[in-house]
Structure formats: C-alpha cells, structure tokens
Amino acid sequence: MTSVTVEYFAQLREQAGQGRETISSAAESLAALYAELRERHGFRLDTAQLKVAVNAQFRDWQQPLAEGDVIVFIPPVAGG
C-alpha cells in the first residue's frame, strides 16, 4: 500500500465532500487510483475529461504512485 494525499477542486470537491484526503492505496497508476476514488465518491467525470498533477507537475495517467505523493485531479474549468 502507498500513502498519498489527494486534492480535489470544483465539482470533484463537491462530490467528494472534501478538498483533500490522505489515503492508502494498492493502485499501480494514477488511472487506477482515480478509478478507485471514482467508485468511492461517485465521481461522474472520466479520465479523458481531467488533467492530473503529481507534486505540482502534470503527469501521464500511467504514472506509478510513490509514497508521499500529492496528487491533484483537475476538472474542466467553466467561467464567465
């Protein structure tokens, strides 16, 4: 198990009911972690609609997790 901190913004934050959580996961990639969290929190967006960053750097969805990573899932931004 790998312990990571996940931050949520916009609609993901609303759906998760929190802006940040630290979790332990056996996920082997960012995509697998998001699938796990999507099931847990009922996220409606899929990976094609999101960007993902690890430790303040945009990453590919196949990036493996490392102990202590800070992961941010970034949904599309709407504004006016």
Tens of pLDDT, residue by residue over 21-78, are 999 999 999 999 999 999 999 999 999 999 999 999 999 999 999 999 999 999 987 6
Which residue in 27, 21, 28, 24 sits closest to 7, CA to CA?
21
What pLDDT is recorded for position 79? 52
Q: What is the pTM of this model?
A: 0.91
Reported for 47-52, long-range contacts at CB under 8 A and 24+ positions apart, including other chains, are: 49/75, 49/76, 50/74, 50/75, 50/76
What pLDDT is recorded for position 78? 60
- Domain 2-74 is of which CATH architecture? Roll (3.10)
- Domain layout of the chain by residue ranges: 2-74
What pLDDT is recorded for position 59? 97
